[in-house]
Copies of this chain bind each other. A is one copy, B any other.
Amino acid sequence: MTIDLASAERILAAAKARAEALGVKVGLSIVDPRGDLKAAVRMDGAPWRVILISQGKAFAAAAFGVPSGDLAERANSAVMRALMEMEGGRVIPTQGAIPIRRDDEVLGAIGVSGAPTSEQDEDIAIAGASAF
Contacts and interface: CB of A to CB of B under 8 A. Distances in A.
B85 A88 contact: yes
Contacts of A41: 5, 8-9, 38-39
Interface in A37-51: 37-44, 47-49, 51
Interface of A: 4-5, 8-9, 32-34, 36-44, 47-49, 51-53, 56, 63-65, 72, 75-86, 88-94, 113
- Number of identical monomers bound together in the oligomeric complex: 4
A82 B53 contact: yes
A41 to B, nearest CB: 5
Nearest to A118: B79
Contact of A82 (B37, B40, B51, B84): B84
Q: Which of A4, A85, A91, A113 has the most CB of B within 10 A?
A: A85
